[in-house]
Amino acid sequence: MHRERVFFFDTTLRDGEQSPGCSMYMAEKLRMARQLESLGVDIIEAGFAIASEGDFTAVEQVARTVRGPRIASLARAKEEDITAAARALEHAERSRIHIFLASSDIHLKYKLKISRAQALEQADQSVRLARSYVDDVEFSPEDATRTDPDFLCTMVQIAVDAGATIINLPDTVGYSVPLEYAELFQLLKNKIRGIDKVMLSCHCHNDLGMAVANSLAAIEAGARQVECTINGIGERAGNAALEEIAAAMHVRQDKLPYQHVLALDQLYPTSQLLTELIAFSPSPNKAVVGSNAFSHEAGIHQHGVLSNPLCYEIMTPALVGVPMNRMVLGKHSGRHALGHRLGELGYALEREELDVAYGHFIAVADRKKSVYDQDLIAIVQTHLRPVPSGRTA
């Protein structure tokens, strides 16, 4: 059965880097871009060329260095932005100019201080100008999810008529919910002439914790490009997390029957590299790449995982590049997990010995948050003193 392709647009180096604590030096941006290339993302948004000399150089250097992914630069609907983006992208193997322009009344009135008519004129002129430089132009009506639907359709129609090849609907402030967001894509499919000739894209923020859910709803509604970041970094509460979307598409192929070209075993290495480059790591309980994502402490869970990992893991750690699942021994752990770890340490205990060791283990666990290998060795050598298996006294 033919499965439709979903394209992954990574904006870690642009939207992600705008997040406090996530700025990177030039050499670091290039390392990250090369890793994104290894991961297999389709588009890398390398920066916002007009924003600063550093951003311009970042876009230019990524465009010169990285081959495979299409390289994009963000631009406002202004001539100077579009010209700067085009210059920065000159050496890209494949390039894209990504234009954004506010569409919601609150943004038009208070941020841009322009009328709806002026916004429509800017949309038309900017897309036409960008198309004079590159063949691939993405248009994003900023704050689309809080925009009057009729006006949104009018702006999108103008962008399509002017030559936009991708129409992105940003949930700029993380306001939408999945069903509502999906309906917005359906609206465009029903109302816009020529919509079948452009690619629809989603870009979701996580202010209400629904960025990934909204992105998956958009894909089901017809979006074939998903904009996301590694570890979900980004403005305020962040962007949709690339690794979560990719993992969901893999685990739930029955509900999300789409193909992509990501190398899933590069998800964890990519997350780890980003952690190395910026000021913080993902939360321990972060899905897919958090340090606890494949860790188990509860005894029942540990027993189940040791018997068959699928009891409590819907994907293997190896699938996303995590070296192994991790048993965290603590007061909730059971005899089975303790015996397994002692066996790995070279101590083969009989049932009665394991019962004695477990009693002392629980006593230690009640005093400490985690029990380490040296604690286990001390328990065995102090209270049982067996010779480690495979060794001579």
Q: What was the pLDDT predicted at 124? A: 98
* 159 pLDDT higher than 90: yes
CA 387, 391, 393: angle at the middle one, nearest 5?
A: 55
Which amino acid makes up residue 333?
S
pLDDT confidence of residue 388: 44
The domain boundary, picked from 248, 277, 306, lies at 277
User: 244 and 313, same structural domain?
Assistant: no
Q: What is the mean pLDDT of residues 118-143?
A: 98
When pLDDT is averaged across residues 270-274 and rounded to a whole number, the result is 92
Q: How confident is the model at residue 179 (pLDDT cuts 50, 70, 90)?
A: very high
Tokens of residue 104, six digits: 């919601």
DSSP 8-class letter at 220: H
Q: Which of 323, 329, 324, 332 is nearest to 374 (CA)?
A: 329
pLDDT per residue over 310-343, tens digit each? Answer: 554 577 887 888 766 455 676 677 888 888 878 7
Which of 277, 307, 327 finishes a domain? 277
338 within domain boundaries: yes
| pLDDT at res. 284 | 80
Q: What is the pLDDT of residues 200-242, one digit of tens each?
A: 999 999 999 999 999 999 999 999 999 999 999 999 999 999 9
Residue showing tokens 């699928």: 310
pLDDT at 365: 84
306-340 burial, b for 16+ CB within 10 Å, e for fewer? Answer: beebeebbebebebbbbeebebbbbbebbbbbbbb
The domain in which residue 301 lies consists of 295-383
Answer yes or no: are the C-beta atoms of 354 and 286 closer than 8 Å.
Answer: no
Tell me whether residue 228 is in a domain. yes
Do 225 and 81 have their domain in common? yes
The answer to whether residues 42 and 261 touch, using CB atoms and an 8 Å cutoff, is yes
Average pLDDT over residues 111-130: 98
Q: Does 289 map to a domain?
A: no
pLDDT number for residue 310: 57
Question: Alpha-carbon distance 17 to 324, whole Å?
Answer: 30
> What's the whole-model pTM score?
0.82
pLDDT score, position 378? 82
**Looking at residue 389, what is its pLDDT?**
46
Q: Is 213 in the same domain as 168?
A: yes
Residue 301's domain is classified under what CATH number?
A: 1.10.238
Confirm whether 390 is domain-assigned.
Answer: no
Quote the pLDDT of residue 321. 83
Q: Which two tokens stand for residue 280?
A: 């913080």
- Are 74 and 109 in contact by the 8 Å Cβ rule? The answer is no
Q: Are residues 67 and 95 in the same domain?
A: yes
Task: Please check whether residue 218 lies inside any domain of the structure.
Answer: yes
| pLDDT at 189 > cutoff 50 | yes
pLDDT of residue 313: 58
Same domain for 329 and 255, yes or no, is: no
The string of pLDDT tens digits covering residues 22-34 is 999 999 999 999 9
The CATH number that applies at residue 202 is 3.20.20.70
pLDDT for residue 302? 46
187 domain residue, yes or no: yes
What's the mean per-residue pLDDT of the chain? Answer: 89
Judgement on whether residues 193 and 334 belong to the same structural domain of the protein = no
Residue 355 DSSP SS3 = helix
Domain total of the chain:
2
CA dihedral over 195, 197, 203, 208, signed as positive or negative: positive
Q: Are residues 188 and 104 in the same domain?
A: yes
371 and 304 co-located in one domain: yes
**Cα separation, 190 vs 53, whole angstroms:** 42
Residue 313 φ then ψ, to 5°: -130, 120
Q: Indicate whether 175 belongs to any domain.
A: yes
Lowest-confidence pick of 63-77, 181-195, 239-253, 376-390: 376-390
The reply to whether 252 and 313 lie within a common domain is no
pLDDT at res. 243: 98
In a shared domain, residues 212 and 347: no
Cα 78 to its chain centre, rounded Å, is: 29
Quick check: is 286 in a domain?
no
Q: In this structure, are 220 and 321 located in the same domain?
A: no
Say if residue 147 is in the same domain as residue 17. Answer: yes
